[in-house]
Amino acid sequence: MKLFGTDGIRGKANEFPITPEVALRAGKAVAQVLRSSGHNRNRVVIGKDTRISGYMLETALTAGLVSMGMDVLLPGPLPTPAIAHLTKSMGAAAGIMLTASHNPYEDNGLKIFGPDGYKLSDALEEIIERHILGDEPEPRPMSPEKIGKAYRIDDARGRYIEFAKHTADNISLHGLKIVVDCGHGAAYFIAPLIFKELGAEVIKHGCEPDGININDKCGALYPETAGELVRQHGADLGISFDGDADRVIFTDATGTPVSGDRILALSALSLHEQGKLRGNRMACTVMSNLGLHEAMRRAGIEVLTTPVGDRNVIEALREKGGSFGGENSGHLIFADHATTGDGILSALQVLRVMKEKKATLAELAACMREFPQELVNLKVAAKPPLATLPGLQKLMNEADAAFGDAGRHLIRYSGTENKIRILVEHRDADSVDEWIGKFTEAVKEDIGVPA
């Protein structure tokens, strides 16, 4: 597809495809494809994070939708998972989130959810894309009396806050001191409030958005920021969200970031102990550490491995009837509660395990050992198919033969940026360094890296 990538449409604001003109056409396209004859179904929830370009896109998107007879519900800045939840709970035909997640403020994008709260299938995204690009006939204009309306939804925050607390059975967090870094993003208001209402002492950071400071040296990409505050305040842990709060990264009481795989492992093991891990299985992506697989084998838990992307994890869980999975980047899917990755909900689940087991995060995270691993992101001049790069392919075959069962490599292009991601994992740390160097040189020779 030309517009949709691994997680919706994304790009630089005010440049194609993130322009008011495309947003207008996207609104019309969503109306055409997801319109329903059901009672009250011709409504769309539009959420956004705190980027300044959100105002521009929200207005254009709303215009396109109402011009096609759809009513628009506008709750203002809220996390992506809150929009997914509200779409389903309010009986809307679709939900649209304006965000570029962890990207800097210059970028923005659209994530679209269906009436069930799940991200759209590739087939539906392709149909919507064809309408946006003009590959399908233009819709007939609505007569004036059929034009839709736009409404501000004042109780949206409260709806989601109560839902999130309920997923953790409103457990008391009394006695916990937590650093909450919202990255000046979509969770800036509701996340600290939720933890405070449940009894925790909260030290806030990244909760003063100004339209351009989202993800700026704070939030999930910079867990060391929360880590430093944890040390300063003697907190029990740090919780860092990305721009749209569908991801969460933790730091322990020493201020040390805890890997996403360790969070996946402790969560899966806790659910397993409670008999809540449906099918005795969990799902993760190909990016997860071999140590996670080892820990799950010891516990008798089946691991479903998927391509990168939380949508792929969700699809695997839905297909196999699983209840938990996620990505080591901080996406956690508690499928009994949510239809997408939810940073706040995930943090509450981890906090509940800490309280119930009377254990520190570091103690819980010691449930697995990690193989030494390194991930390098290189900017590239182009993205030719990897299979057409002879030097890189030869080196990958050599690595496969050398590694055996002791390690692995994974090389892929980013779905949202002009980058190639090189992952090497091995029982021996020196082998990791050696092969990262070899793969980096091969990429430079075969593709070229911009100065």
Binding site for Mg(2+), by residue number, is: 101, 242, 244, 246
245: its two tokens: 């709060």
The phi and psi torsions of 297 (rounded to 5 degrees) equal -60, -40
DSSP states along 264-323: HHHHHHHHHHHT-SGGGEEEEETTS-HHHHHHHHHHT-EEEEE-SSHHHHHHHHHHHT--
Please give the Cα distance from 439 to 437 (Å, whole number).
6
- In this structure, are strands 332-334 and 302-306 parallel, antiparallel, or unpaired? unpaired
Please give the Cα distance from 67 to 61 (Å, whole number).
10
Please give the Cα distance from 316 to 322 (Å, whole number).
8
Binding site, by residue number, is: 101, 242, 244, 246
Q: Which of 53, 67, 101, 270 is catalytic?
A: 101
Element (H, E) at 123: helix 122-132
Please name the residues in contact with 131: beta carbons below 8 A apart, sequence gap of 6 or more. Answer: 25, 28, 29, 32, 33
Please give the Cα distance from 336 to 196 (Å, whole number).
24
Q: Are 255 and 227 in contact (CB under 8 A)?
A: yes
Asked about 101 being catalytic, the answer comes back as: yes
Catalytic center residues: 101
